[in-house]
Amino acid sequence: MPGPEKRLLLHDYLRDTAQSAASCTAIVEEGRITSFGQLLGRATALSAALVQRGLRKGDRVALVLSKTTEAITALFSTLMAGAVYVPIQPHWPTKRIHAALEDCAPRFVMTEPTGGLVDQSACQTGRTDSLPLIVDRHNDNRVPFPEALEGSSSEFPEPALEPDDPAFILFTSGSTGQPKGVVISHRAVGAFVNWSAEEFQICKADRIACPSPLSFDLSTFDIFNMALCGATCVIVPDRVVWMPRFLTRFMNEQRITVWYSVPSILGGMLNEPEFARGGYPDLRLILFAGEVFPSQQVTRLQATVPHAACYNLYGPTESNVVAYHHVGQDFDSSRPIPIGKACPYAELMLDPAGREFQDGFWTGELLVRSESLMTGYWDRPAETEMVFTNVSGREGPPRRFYRTGDRVSLDSSGNYTFMGRLDRQVKRRGFRIELGEIEATLGRHADVLEVVVISSQDHELQTTITAFVRRRPHSSIAQGEMKAYCAQSVPSYAVPDHIVFVEDIPRGSRGKIDYAALRELDARRQGNGDQSGGAPVHS
């Protein structure tokens, strides 16, 4: 367990643990073991190499890397140099990667030589494996990761950092069609990590699975609890995260004690006979967040691993976790699982301007004040101001709250329950998707006159995305071509499941899009088994 003194800079977690437990295992990656002493040594050497090559306090370092030991090393080396790491999924469409790079303007990009950002010939040693390259964006110099460590001194002038300095930037879906960066400070993520370490009693004996990509805020729990508490971080390879049969074996073979993921991953494992047979004696804690977990599935999960405590965690990327709820064995599975009550470092409330009393519950938009809140959106001060509001109290000056855009209910015991979005944002596999971004992307196609995107959910709360497209006269573009075009700009999880070609978009008397009519049309289409990839549908 962490000591009573709470460290405020994230890389200090690793330094302190490496001093007291240098030989203990920090990372396990497919049989490859890295101790805390080795992780600190490599991170320090890489940090020195980056500083010697011109990295300065506040510069950005883009990590266009899969989740590996090298990626985690690069993460800590960036923080040690006083810089800001920007994790970017390497399997994102190239256009989206370049949009994020153009936005955050990194000094260095660490990427894989087999990826689309760097030609194979750029690797100076001729290596063709997956070890990263370090690309200096100022002079386009490219250095293989191992070479950067060779001959690097561990001594370099460390910049003076404050807890409110930025630690990383996470890019999320933007309604305009461009991803936007959420800036998170050392203090913000530290508030969550220090609380979670204490609340869940994370210790050196724990083996924490790491299934989430570095670009997803859930990974901050895995990596920084490892560094703070001396636990072992067991990397779940990106290629198998969505392979339930592998994960059920992985959890047992790796003796996982703590699991934290989106419910979709756990739901997939529940359908595996091997998982249903139970066991998992080492598993003591299951945390889930990022999307709604159907109550019936949680009941099955608890029946399979009754000895593991289950918690529902809640919080948007802009705030990380701000609410939590322990799901006891006796919970009412006929009702949604609450997101619970505020973490000690956060304050929750319903927007007083729009709350309503319905069926014995107060409902409205959830507002958040928290130490874990973002600094703002990168280089977007106007958008940052739009998501904050001042709330006047009975005493003192108005207080600043973040608008989550989530509609919640508040029961008599003080528990909040998620009821849906107030805007057109949806989630799939825990990833945030702005339907407006899909519309903007498809709308740029030369054969498209108009496009409207909607979403629906089945009985297991799985999200389906449908795009209604009005084509230009005489256009013969088909559903497959439209999906391929969309996949050039948005991640695979945001590509519409169905493209429906229509002659007109239904509108109300005032000319506004009639979303209810589109949902009825979509329900009829799905009921008829129509994929609508050919002739236009009459609305």
Q: How far is residue 262's CA from residue 431's CA, in Å, rounded to a whole number?
A: 9
Q: How far is residue 154's CA from residue 169's CA, in Å, rounded to a whole number?
A: 26
Q: How far is residue 154's CA from residue 388's CA, in Å, rounded to a whole number?
A: 42
H helix count then E strand count, the chain: 15, 28
The reply to whether 92 falls in a domain is yes
The reply to whether 132 falls in a domain is yes
The reply to whether 509 falls in a domain is yes
The reply to whether 387 falls in a domain is no
Query: Count of domains in the chain?
Result: 2
The reply to whether 56 falls in a domain is yes
Last residue of a domain, one of 220, 241, 262: 241
> In 340-496, which ranges are continuous DSSP H helix?
381-386, 435-443, 479-487
The structure tokens 């297991």 sit at 460
Tokens representing 272? Answer: 């595996």
Q: What is the CATH number of the domain that holds 499?
A: 3.30.300.30
The DSSP-derived string for 52-76 is HTT--TT-EEEEE--SSHHHHHHHH
The pLDDT, as a whole number, for residue 389 is 95
The DSSP-derived string for 292-321 is ---HHHHHHHHHHSTTSEEEEEE--TTT--
Last residue of a domain, one of 241, 262, 283: 241
Q: How far is residue 23's CA from residue 449's CA, in Å, rounded to a whole number?
A: 62
| CA atoms within 13 Å, Cβ hemisphere of 275 | 21
Angle, CA of 242, 222 and 111, to the nearest 5°: 70
The pLDDT, as a whole number, for residue 146 is 67
34 neighbors 40 (Cβ within 8 angstroms) = no
3-state secondary structure string across 327-351: ECCCCCCCCCCCCEEECCCEEEEEC
Q: What is the CATH number of the domain that holds 192?
A: 3.40.50.12780
Tokens representing 522? Answer: 């979509």
Q: How far is residue 18's CA from residue 22's CA, in Å, rounded to a whole number?
A: 4
Burial 61-84 (b: 16+ CB within 10 A, else e): bbbbbbbbbbbbbbbbbbbbbbbb
**Coil, helix or strand at residue 131:** coil
Boundaries of domain holding 138: 10-241
Q: How far is residue 18's CA from residue 486's CA, in Å, rounded to a whole number?
A: 46
- For residue 181, the one-letter residue type is G
Model-level pTM? 0.83
Q: What is the pLDDT along the chain (539 residues), one digit of tens a residue?
A: 344 345 679 999 999 999 999 999 999 999 899 999 999 999 999 999 899 888 999 999 999 998 999 999 999 999 999 999 999 998 888 888 989 999 999 999 998 776 555 433 333 333 334 467 788 777 666 777 666 666 556 666 778 899 999 999 999 876 666 789 999 999 999 999 999 999 999 999 999 999 999 999 999 999 999 999 999 999 998 888 888 889 998 999 999 999 999 998 998 899 888 887 877 899 999 999 988 898 888 999 999 999 999 999 999 999 999 999 999 988 888 888 999 999 999 999 999 988 888 778 898 999 999 999 999 999 999 999 999 999 987 777 889 999 999 999 999 899 999 988 887 788 887 788 888 888 888 888 888 888 888 888 776 677 889 999 988 888 888 889 999 999 988 888 889 999 999 888 887 756 677 888 888 888 887 776 665 554 445 44
The reply to whether 493 falls in a domain is yes
CA-CA distances (angstroms) from residue 258 to 1, 49, 207, 315?
Answer: 15, 35, 6, 19
The structure tokens 């289409």 sit at 525
Q: How far is residue 252's CA from residue 277's CA, in Å, rounded to a whole number?
A: 12
The pLDDT, as a whole number, for residue 458 is 75
**Coil, helix or strand at residue 427:** strand
The reply to whether 363 falls in a domain is no
The pLDDT, as a whole number, for residue 125 is 33
172 neighbors 215 (Cβ within 8 angstroms) = no
The pLDDT, as a whole number, for residue 140 is 65
**Coil, helix or strand at residue 284:** coil
Last residue of a domain, one of 196, 222, 241: 241
Q: How far is residue 462's CA from residue 457's CA, in Å, rounded to a whole number?
A: 5
The reply to whether 536 falls in a domain is no
